[in-house]
Amino acid sequence: MITSPLLYLFVLALMATFLYLLEERSRLKIFSYIPSVVMIYAFAMGLASLGLFAQNDAINHIYSLTKTNLLPAMLFLMLLQIDLKDFTKLGRKLIIAYLLAVVSIAFAFVAVAYIFSFSSEMAAAFGALAGSWMGGTANMIAVGSALGVDENAFAYALIVDSVDYTLWVMLLLFLVPFAKYFDRFSGAVLEENELKVGCACSMGAKRYWLLIALALFVSFVSQMAAEYVTFLNKTTTIVLIASLLGVLASFTKLRFLNGASEVATTMLYLLVALIGSHAHFEDFSGVGVYVLAGLLILAIHAVIMVAGAKLFRLSLFSIAVASLSNIGGVASAPILAAAYNKRLVSVGVLMAVMGYLIGTFGGLFIGNLLLGLSTS
């Protein structure tokens, strides 16, 4: 049994590194269905369930301290990559498709909450899931922390995110050959400027230590500010302040510090491992309801997107990439865009990066709304 807090962190970091490298270098097919971030959580949870980590004051303290400091730092670096100017160049129909995706996902979560009569625990878990399906896993952790989602409920949300997302990606890729038939149905005409969007990435030296120092400074400022000004609760305030600082910094030259994504992803994986190390599953009987609720959310979202495509004459490419940029994020939206036309990869990238901003604020809004509608 591990009783040392430093050894506890080292084991989690080593496990996360191993699984990430295994996904990156082995190209095993299993990672197409179960991404490394899910495996990191599962392995950490498994080690905790086996009693490897002692539940002493020292480990609990390092868990809380690391999570509190890394969360705002990660959010800041994620949002540092946003380029709002490039997003406005997407074209009118693509922006409409993206906004339609965001609104339809939000509506679907609320509708399903009514149908299933969410308990407070389920409402908080789906609030975290909303953060993921409007942004990414980083937003899920941020929203989940702000809403006080416990480690076991977070595991359910992560399972839904993985299972339902995989099915959604498969469906959207399956529909690619039928684009011309759908476009004939919706009356879509692809705008010319939609093919001229530049790359969302930036070039420059990877100043990792500068990024880490800057992110930790933002984390410190966010926590200090939250001591004097509180919105809903302290964690929510820290998340919002760090997010706003990230958006503001994206308008400066700091946005060109290439490497922010890699550092933020490293922090994300360690955070996932930390949360998993405090989860213990005694019973999986309730996971089916969560998965079913997630599928219903996607079904309602799909119906609204198709209706919106007909109303606004949007192409299948537009609504599909807009949908996956929310639900799948940077990892999958560019792949779907490339399946239509390789010149459109940047469209998927830009939409997905915007999710880093929308996901946190949208997830917090939906999460608090679901909690207000919960039955207990």
Amino acid in the structure at residue 82: I
CA nearest neighbour of 260 among 356, 187, 181: 356
3-state secondary structure of 101: helix
Q: Which residues of 33-67 are buried (b: 16+ CB within 10 A; e: fewer)?
A: eebbbbbbbbbbbebbeeeebeeeeebeebbeebb
For 218, residues 6+ apart whose C-beta sits below 8 A from its C-beta are 72, 73, 76, 242, 245, 246
* Residue 116 tokens, joined: 């299933």
**Residue 193: pLDDT band with limits 50, 70, 90:** very low
* Range scoring the smallest mean pLDDT among 10-14, 154-158, 160-164, 279-283: 279-283
DSSP sequence for 167-217: HHHHHHHHTGGGHHHHHHHHT----GGGG-PPPS-------HHHHHHHHHH
Q: Where are the domains of the chain?
A: 84-256+284-373
Amino acid 229: pLDDT: 83
Cβ proximity of 76 and 252 under 8 Å: no
3-state secondary structure of 132: helix
Question: Cα dist. 218→148, 154, 193, 238, 248 in Å?
Answer: 22, 26, 37, 10, 12
DSSP sequence for 322-361: HHHHHHTGGGTHHHHHHHH-GGGHHHHHHHHHHHHHHHHH
- Average pLDDT for residues 276-295, to the nearest whole number? 77
- Average pLDDT for residues 261-269, to the nearest whole number? 86
- Per the model's pLDDT, the better-predicted residue between 217 and 232 turns out to be 217
Q: What crossing angle do the helices spanning 345-373 and 120-133 adopt, rounded to 10°?
A: 160
For 137, residues 6+ apart whose C-beta sits below 8 A from its C-beta are 37, 161, 268, 272, 329
Amino acid 192: pLDDT: 43
- Per the model's pLDDT, the better-predicted residue between 217 and 258 turns out to be 217
Amino acid 101: pLDDT: 95
